[in-house]
Amino acid sequence: MAEPAKRNATYDDLLALPDDVRGEIIYGSLYVQPNPAPPHGSSQFSIGGELYAPFQKGRGGPGGWWFLIEPEPHLGPHVALPDIAGWRQERMPTLPTTAYVELAPDWVCEVLSPSTEGLDRGAKRRLYATYGVAHLWYLHPVERYLEVSALRDGAWLHIDTFDDAVEVRAPPFDAVAFRLADLWPIPPADKPA
């Protein structure tokens, strides 16, 4: 006897989720994760703060970007939920008034955690490449590193991995440097607070 065909997840499935979880639809599958822990959220907010003034407001940098924390890009039948995403204002002159965005971001930053790293580095990475996201960053608040990739000819090219010992100048935001060590809410285990 044949197994019944798997039903693809729908937006109604996302809307039916309880408030204490987040969901995404990637390649027809519903992925549900708990809301992020405080170190994740703090690092997410910190990196957004580093980029906001110079790249969205043009204070001390070139401006020309929109940033959203946990936006909801609808990429064809997929509903992603990146931790932070950015759009060049030349491609998206104004922010949408809907709860979602139908234009693929130019840049995505995923803050890695044990519950999301597999999806972030797997299906979502492929999805972002398919829809032409030009830059993908992985920020790891526990291991304390930033990994930077750029899309080249439909494939991800590793640009660099940064740790606390260096200043970060990474595309597409290499016009302004920031200290990676300033992003972490928790001091490293081998150093006193």
Please, are residues 138 and 123 in contact by the beta-carbon 8 Å criterion? Answer: no
The predicted model gives 146-169 an average pLDDT of 95
Q: Quick check: 113 pLDDT over 50?
A: yes
Spans of all domains in the chain: 36-183
Torsion angles phi and psi, residue 80, rounded to 5: -95, 160
Q: DSSP string spanning the chain?
A: -PPPPPPPP-HHHHHTS-TTEEEEEETTEEEEEEPPPHHHHHHHHHHHHHHIIIIII-SSS---EEEEES--BEETTEE---SEEEEETTT-SS--SSSSB-S--SEEEEEP-TTTHHHHHTHHHHHHHHTT--EEEEEETTTTEEEEEEEETTEEEEEEEEETTSEE--TTSTTS-EEGGGG-SS--TTS--
Residue-wise pLDDT for 132-151, tens only, equals: 999 999 999 989 999 999 99
What confidence score (pLDDT) does residue 187 get? Answer: 65
pLDDT at 136: 98
Q: What average pLDDT does the chain have? A: 92
What pLDDT, in 10s, does the model give residues 6-50?
Answer: 789 999 999 999 999 999 999 999 999 988 888 888 999 999 999
Q: What's the CA dihedral at 140, 133, 154, 75 to 10 degrees?
A: 110
Say whether pTM exceeds 0.85. yes
Fold topology of 36-183: tt1808, chain A (3.90.1570)
Cβ atoms < 10 Å from Cβ of 80: 27
| 147 in Cβ contact with 159 (< 8 Å) | no
pLDDT in tens, 170-183: 999 999 999 999 88
Q: Report which of residues 93 and 166 the model is more confident about.
A: 93
Residues in the chain: 193
